[in-house]
Amino acid sequence: MVILTLNCGSSSAKYQLYDWDKKDVLAVGVVEKVTIDGSFINHKVKGKEEITINHDCPTHLEAVDLIIKTLTGKENGCLSDMSVIKAVGHRVTHGGAKFTKSVIVDDAVLEAFNEMTDLSPLHNPAQILGVKAAKKVLPGVPHCAVIDTAWHQTMPPESFLYAVPYEWYEKYSARRYGFHGTSFLYTAKRAAVLLGKDPFATNLVICHLGNGASINAVKDGLSFDTSMGITPLEGLVMGTRSGDIDPALPFYIMRKTGMNPAEIESALNKQSGLFGITGKYSDRRDIQNAKCNGDKRAELAQDIEARRVKKYIGGYMAELGRVDALVFTAGVGEFAFFMREKILSGLEGVGIVFDPKKNEMSHTRNTETCISKAESKIPVLIIPTDEELVMTEDAYALMAGTYDIHTKFSYSFQKKDYINKSRAEGLQGELEKHPELKGIIASPR
């Protein structure tokens, strides 16, 4: 049995093909620059080299069609036809207050997602197009929505309510929703395994740092507070998003410039954050290179980003009282050791002591690592996220009728002996080149 997962972003479409019976990944890939000139697909089949194919994708409909044709192509594919796919898992960014867990997509569910596009204008429209395109190609299988906001539905009112007129919440559902829930679910469950703790007796601060970034305070295995708000704009400094600002700032700029609300919204989402500070870059690798070449604004951007993350870590530690581990995940959290160093430096006073050498060595998606020193009261773990696996397992369980909310449902990666086959194979190759990596691998207690 094969399960396909699709993760459509604002300008990309990631996918994974998973053999459920063999518990192994058959193919992975991403279509980049969707809706932008110069779109292309990076595609890798198990046991073969990655390939890149240039292909125009003006919308996500063409991107999904390209994915299907690539998966079934004679030269680069791994499927004879699409009939072996028995379920499709789709990432959906915003489910509002209505969806507390993953759900099979029907017309009513699609309409509910469509009604929430004003809450997630960069993501939900693309994801709805992705679902429609996939349902057209695979009409006879269940299509399952795995929703980013669902994980955070356990937050208490004092975490999710804004101090604004209460009727805004009652009439318009204006509240904090939070995002990156699929990633937080995976990393929270894996952290509990590594710590040897009951997941529902585990307190964590998890930093999901990518182009979009957020932090989650996990109390007794449940989302307790998170940095993103009613939309993914609030919180940390991100690639092109401002994160926290004075709410009066947009009105001030509108008065000064004559900009309208739509222009302000676009500026805060697409022209701010690291890009806004540097004037050039949103990718942390570009910013690091620029900083090393003497670009002071690039260095300033790093300092501002790190300062914001530190503030949230400290705030969530105060909220939780006891923290069992600090976790980094996602592209920047997993690979950008220079950003982790900036964030972790100076946290000794709150019981976090990292090892600079271990930190620099941890640059992999194939294993979980620990970069804290022995005397650190709070372990610092790097857990490569696996949103695709959560989507796959949810889709299978929904198809089989065994799925439930995560407090009543157990995933394969919660087992102490869980092994990700494709990552284990990749790790062997890394260890041959970098045997010192073995010394920082975090094993279950």
**Which residues, including other chains, have CB under 8 Å from residue 170's CB and lie 6 or more apart?**
none
Q: How many CB atoms lie within 10 A of CB 200?
A: 11
CA-wise closest residue to 355 among 366, 368, 365, 340: 340
Between CA 186 and CA 178 the distance in angstroms is 16
- Overall residue count recorded for the chain in this entry: 445
Catalytic residue among 81, 148, 225, 244: 148
Q: Is 148 designated active site?
A: yes
CA angle, 9 then 61 then 118, to 5°: 50
Q: Enter the tokens of residue 182.
A: 């699929």
**Which residues, including other chains, have CB under 8 Å from residue 192's CB and lie 6 or more apart?**
198, 199, 202, 221, 414
Backbone angles phi and psi of 123, in degrees to 5? -115, -50
Give how far Cα 51 sits from Cα of 62, 67, 161, Å: 19, 13, 47
Between CA 402 and CA 432 the distance in angstroms is 41
**Which residues, including other chains, have CB under 8 Å from residue 233's CB and lie 6 or more apart?**
241, 242, 243, 268, 269
Known catalytic residues are: 148
